Amino acid sequence: MPNEDFVEYKRREYCNDVKCPIQVIMNQKELDSSEYNELRDICKEHCLYTTYEFHHWLVDKGYLLLRPEQKK
């Protein structure tokens, strides 16, 4: 449900903005290489940041969290 007046969050935008050390290394690896995927698994299972930090980053950057209204 894209809206012309808004920009969607880009994948790993937060990670790059906060200069996550794992993301910095991932950026130097070839996409989908074994090294890249090993680092990605670290992110998926043992992220260095909390949802609290991510949520506040989203708010600080002006992002809005939206979902469709549930029809009864």
Domains of the chain, by residue range, sit at 13-60
CB atoms within 10 A of CB 15: 20
Which amino acid makes up residue 63?
Answer: Y
- For 30-70, write each residue's pLDDT tens digit: 999 999 999 999 999 999 999 999 999 999 999 988 888 88
Answer yes or no: is pLDDT of 9 > 70: yes
- pTM, full prediction: 0.80
Cα 51 to the center of its chain, rounded Å: 11
The two structure tokens encoding residue 67: 């979902």
pLDDT of residue 66: 83
Answer yes or no: is pLDDT of 2 > 70: no
